[in-house]
Structure 1
Amino acid sequence: MSILNDSSERFLHDYLNNASPTGFESAGQKLWIDYIRPYVDEIALDTYGTAYGVINPGKDYRVVIEGHADEISWFVHYITDNGYLYVVRNGGSDHMIAPSKRVNIHGEKGIVRGVFGWPAIHTRRGEDSKLAPKIENIFIDIGAKDKDEVHEMGVQVGSVITYPDDLEVMNDRYYCGRALDNRMGGFCIAQVARLIRERNIDLPFSLYIVNSVQEEVGLRGAQMIADRIKPQVAIVTDVTHDTNTPMLDKKKVGDVKAGKGPSVTTAPAVHNKLLQLIIEAARENDIDFQREASSRATGTDTDAFAYSNGGVASALISLPLKYMHTTVEMAAKSDVEGVIELILHSLEKIEDGMSFNYFEV
């Protein structure tokens, strides 16, 4: 029986379909806060927009579960005299998928529709036949006759650009759309808060459900909120690559497959005792899981929490994802539920004042 309900599904679609580009996450954060409000005792927001709810506030022992709220996007970088727009990345946007994509430009007068144009195949002859998308040559057409008309439409250098692609369910097995990385993580931790309330789970510590901003540009929101909360433990959820899709070499990228459960990571930033607690929770509750290893950094907010405040016991639970940083990211519904259950049962194993020191001195 699914742990998700109709309200969960409505929230998921509303949340993922709403634009939440890095640095401009406010609209999505409002939706997220409104959803978790009935399941937490306190709500707060920091200066740059990281949102969090607290269950059992005021305890000395503080545990964080965290996802990040931002999606990759573009900025208008240069406007030509004849009204075409050139861009720079806001996060890890992939220039290879841009040509022929529709876009929303968030201008001063509201959303302006545009397209990433591309020369027709008929016009690419000789050396031009090797033409490939690069950050320097992709451009947006909004149907303006010149730069002045672009400005009249409310588009300026610095206007943020997002894709309009909506979430859909494929074959009743996969969620597919943009921004699953990592607003699906924000969805999962919101469901953990809901289940704690609905199952009357009594936690002996303060639990912070944190939806951080600006992960896609260097874990910035997690760095800021870790300094504010000063937790003893952090369980972070993000996405990881399904490495069973075509054109990937498992010897280089590991072996993770969507539909086989959440992935747990071994890495220097991942605390071994907390990782083992999570693995035990999976085994005790018959939750399928996979394993991977990260050299040096995990590249997720785990790193920001682990190396904050003199060291925080941190671990990473990842959702396998196909086609990351495209508009057709895909995640198995069963894996989403696995992430939720694994976080929840891991929390149930954490004791008040639990020490994660490797040995006594």
Structure 2
Amino acid sequence: MSKTFDLNKILRPHIISLAPYSSARDEYTGHVGIFLDANENPYGSVTEEHYNRYPDPYQAEIKQKLAPLKNVSIDRIYLGNGSDEPIDLLTRATCTPGQDHVIILPPTYGMYEVSANIHDVIIDKVSLTDDYLINVDAVLQAITPKTKIIWICSPNNPTGNVMQPEAIRTILENFDGLVVVDEAYIDFTETPSWTQHLDQYPNLVVLQTFSKAWGLAGLRIGMCFASPELIRILNKIKPPYNISLPAQKELLKGLNESGKKDEMVADILKERDSLCNMLAQLSLVIKVHPTDANFLLVQFEDAKAVMDYLINEAIIVRDRSRVHLCAGCLRITVGTQEENEAVIESLKKYKPENITV
């Protein structure tokens, strides 16, 4: 059980007393009436769809559908412009520029570091082990009185593996700041979500996304689950209308199709196993790392040459060979059966002399 956690101790003092912007939809939340409060165009839109009215700033209808799907209460949900928005807001809410610290565990998702750099926050890097797991002792030793956030990606990007639960639990119980578990790829693993532990750990924050399993990357909507107190802070400092009306409408449709999402996930998992097996049989592949995500981290004898060759074949993968602990590795997203077979057929034909720069 986490020791007593005081959110106010890690918030920047002026955030606590900040008076948020009050939008027209904050002052009146009804849907019926003559709306003359927000300086909108009363005649409609230049498009066939009517987008002349501002969207719900707190996405209440979406949260009502999402809460039972995630088994969390509505007051624990924040929806942002991708997961990048809550990453930014959590940093801004807690970290004083030039003074406070965050801990990241490379190799990991790059936006934690980018957000810290944007806000002039000091970054303490604690490397994962050689098998891409959390070095708990090193993380605990890196914590200082100025450490506000520890970022943990699980399943991890770019390595694909789930972080050991006991390590996350130990960090939660021995750190007075926020522990953020980014679960962008949680739908592709059988490991339970950390959202089930929100009541137990008030310093726990969980990020998820609609971009991967739901196939809604173009809508740019991310989920943040946390204590009601922290959610209120995020709502206080967010942009007034952070998710557009078209995006909200499409997401509401999507939430009615959770069965289709499950079917797509099953197809991706089937193709992931097939792609993994086919890659492992290629002589130019050194290792296919175990994965719980919708991608594979694959080590090649000459990753840059293979990357250049695949680009010439109009097959685009991600070069991670210069990322910490990922030397010689390319990250390959699991595609359709046809796409995966095309990758394998191209790699079977690979010869260094095939590359034209």
**Normalization by structure 1: what TM-score?**
0.27
Output the TM-score relative to the length of structure 2.
0.27
* Structure with the larger strand share: 1
Task: Name which structure has the greater RCO, CA cutoff 8 Å, separation 6+.
Answer: 1
